[in-house]
Amino acid sequence: MATTHPAPRPMSPEERKVIFASSLGTVFEWYDFYLYGSLAAIIAKQFFSGLDAGSAFIFALLAFAAGFIVRPFGAIFFGRLGDMIGRKYTFLVTILIMGLSTFIVGILPTYASIGVAAPVILIILRLLQGLALGGEYGGAATYVAEHAPHGRRGAYTAWIQTTATLGLFLSLMVILGTRTITGEEAFADWGWRVPFIVSIALLAISVWIRLAMNESPAFQKMKAEGKTSKAPLKESFGEWKNLKIVILALVGLTAGQAVVWYTGQFYALFFLTQALKVDGATANILVAVSLLIGTPFFIVFGALSDKIGRKPIILAGCLLAALTYFPVFGALTKAANPALAEAQAKNKVVVVADPNECSFQFNPTGTVKFTSSCDIAKQVLAGASVSYENAPAAAGTPAVIKIGETSITSYSSKGLPADEAKKKDAEFKKAVADALKAAGYPTKADPARIDKVMVTAILVYLVLLVTMVYGPIAAMLVEMFPTRIRYTSMSLPYHIGNGWFGGLLPTTAFAIVAQTGNMYNGLWYPIIIAGATVVIGGLFIKETKDVDIYAND
């Protein structure tokens, strides 16, 4: 017999309170988490100054990614607690861990003060943040969904989906305000600590709000009937009928959603500052404006998913991303740094080298010395954020950098005395810099030539793709699993997708760029994963908008 549901009704005052309380606390938690990502370049200098500049930035991104890597473990640990003892108290604990970890980053001594202990402690704090966030999202999404009436879950849970973007927006605004007040030099020296330290006030507000919240009615009902799970991990992942849904939710939904999310909001910011050399303040303002314009569409697509379904909206966003990323980022280059686009078109940079002497240049420990002529040539170009092509040379010949019609022969520093190697390095860098300047390559984006309207329009498009894939995802994940194991089951695929596939995107993409030389090649990572999600999700994921979330309890 078909289950009947009352017609969708207006949101009640109690439901507004639930959504507001859940969303506001989650905004603050995302603010804490994303401060680090927004300040990655400064943190690289403060905590990884013992490494060369390129490795320091990649290692800083790895420390950023460390928080994402442990998110699935937080999902398992806190998801189990949430299904056994309740949603409310579990995500009260997660916000305490997140807030205190963030505050400590703000007072942590740098590498210059305490040496290697500084990055070690920083990474531990990032791991704690990741564990906390792993338990946060599933709890908030489940809590709101279980308060929502049938037919409105997409619209209600979409408010939770706005929190990550609003948290990023808040972090950018606080950083921008602090930067403006202190000045760039003071901000780079000590001002960067202020956004971390003020998070203690946000923590106090969040805890106060969450203490006033009630447990979700679905969990209260299940607990009163004695139906809570005694072993949610075993039920979620030890029984094939549930594990199969977890796996499909990961590869057919959250993996693609995650890479679209991080490309549209984080990689776009890194691309502007690192590849296109737009100054940090301008890049932050442009991204913040795009977030402000695009954020309401989380609610639009969440509500639309209640009418036409979650699956077509999510997969359409992934498909559009896979088809348009290359032309969109090409257009972003022309709009943000037209001088760079012109130089790349007129005077391509090519590294002609013996492939056997070119290494994979990732040096997180700072102990590997790249001494071959190929490695030295690529390091100089990577340090200048110059996109280049690779061409093979005869074995044993030194690498040559071709910039338009100019050729500069590289050198090998192997066996050279330190003084001589230093002198050669300075001469080579100057020769490359002079040739790049003569070929029209800018050292930074000219603020007067940045087409701010076009850049903002492109960034808004990227954010709209984010809202398509992210707006309906919470409702769909909630609807895929029964109440007794919902917190655990939905949290794991979400956090593997967003923690591993998404969180590792900036690091992976920049490593691909560093290795291949082409600044657009990092986009292959999200394109391939989003494309795979479209195929798998299209074939194997069932629509869930009409599912009764209490039917399997």
User: How many CB atoms neighbour CB 454 within 10 A?
Assistant: 14
Q: Supply the pLDDT for residue 538.
A: 95
Domains along the sequence of the chain with CATH: 13-337+446-540 (1.20.1250.20), 342-438 (3.40.30)
* CA dist., res. 384 & res. 373, Å (int): 17
Mean pLDDT by 10 residues, the chain (553 residues): 48 68 72 75 77 67 76 80 70 82 89 84 86 77 78 87 82 88 89 90 81 63 62 70 87 94 88 89 89 92 95 97 97 95 92 87 54 88 84 92 93 87 91 93 92 97 96 90 77 83 81 84 95 96 83 55
Task: Report helix angle 153-182 to 296-308, nearest 10.
Answer: 170
* pTM, 2 dp: 0.82
Using DSSP, state whether 285 is helix, strand or coil: helix
* CA dist., res. 169 & res. 532, Å (int): 30
Pure H helices in 384-479: 418-438, 452-470, 473-479
* Both structure tokens of 349: 């940079």
Half-sphere exposure of 206 (CA within 13 A, CB side): 30
Q: Supply the pLDDT for residue 2.
A: 43
Q: Supply the pLDDT for residue 86.
A: 63
Q: Supply the pLDDT for residue 367.
A: 47
The alpha carbon of 28 is separated from its chain's Cα centroid by a whole number of angstroms, namely 16
